Amino acid sequence: MVRILITDGMDKNAITKLIEGGFEVVEKHYEVEGLKEKVKEFDVIVVRSATKIRKPIIDKALETKRLKLIIRGGVGVDNIDVNYAMEHGIQVMNTPNASSISVAELTIGHMFALARYIYIANVTMRNGEWNKKQYKGVELIGKTLGLIGFGRIAKETAKRAYALGMNVIYTDKKGKAEGYDKYTYMSLDELLAKSDFISIHVPFNRENGVILGEEEFNKMKNGVYLINTARGGVVCEKALVKALDSGKVAAAAVDVFEEEPTRNEKLYTHPRVSLTPHIGASTKEAQARIGQEIVDIITKFFK
């Protein structure tokens, strides 16, 4: 019987479908040392963002050569040493379609939260403060949204921003996207200089590294708003805090962090930062779609 280890949780209906399909499913999170031993007992591992499948874990799996498939429930696979696994005959797959709408909606939600001080007014009112005069915000209509990366999530974000009356510009390593003439393609430097809001939609990997560091912040408009629902590490947190302190960045929304859970106190206590704990795909609908996509991947792979 094919054995599946689910380390970071999964939609319950999807688990039921796997069991009904004749698969043995174990849902349990292991820390690194425990996972090194358990990985040898499974044919499939399903992870989200909490579990990292690095070379030492893959090496342990190779001792029994049982592991055939690693699935990341979500968009990126930066928490998996993909090339190393593939070189040793272990297939790596993800669910790139399932969470695009959820992440795009969170991005738009953070934009509203920043523009209208919702993120901080909610806190100060609970402290008994009535800071009406301090919270004079801005409207999104007529503002320019710059999207760094133009994949599935960015396209969904662009659609919603355009409907709100925003001007959408984007940059992408693949160049101009066909069929999206409502939006304007430009270089990263041009985008940084022209955007009122900047939203990041690129994966983190060791080749790309930091996308926005101190040099890039210096190229931005004064008073720009920044949203990162992509990956921690693509924005240098030290440079971001400096840009917030100087006023270069009016406010920032951060859902992803260099270290998770974050211990960057200067960032998470900053009065102009809207925070969420990596919840881009955390909707009932997205988790159901992710679960179904995982079921489809496993069923097709083994049958």
- Catalytic residue from among 24, 41, 260, 285: 260
Q: Of 231, 258, 270, 289, which is the active-site residue?
A: 231
Give me the sheet containing 144-148, strands edge to edge: 184-185, 167-171, 144-148, 197-200, 224-228, 249-254, 273-275
How large is the greatest C-alpha to C-alpha distance in the chain, in angstroms?
66
At residue 189, φ and ψ (nearest 5 deg) are -60, -40
Residue 32's Cβ-count burial label (10 Å; 0-12, 13-18, 19+) is exposed
Active site residue 214: no
278 in catalytic set: yes
Considering Cα of 103, then 229, then 168, then 94, what sign does the dihedral take?
A: negative
In whole angstroms, give the CA distance from residue 9 to residue 6: 6
Enter the tokens of residue 91.
């297939």
Q: Which of 81, 90, 86 is nearest to 54 (CA)?
A: 81
One of 270, 278, 289, 293 is an active-site residue; which one?
A: 278
Q: Scan for tokens 């659609």, then name that residue.
A: 159
Q: Does the active-site annotation cover 29?
A: no
Could you list the active site residues? 231, 260, 278
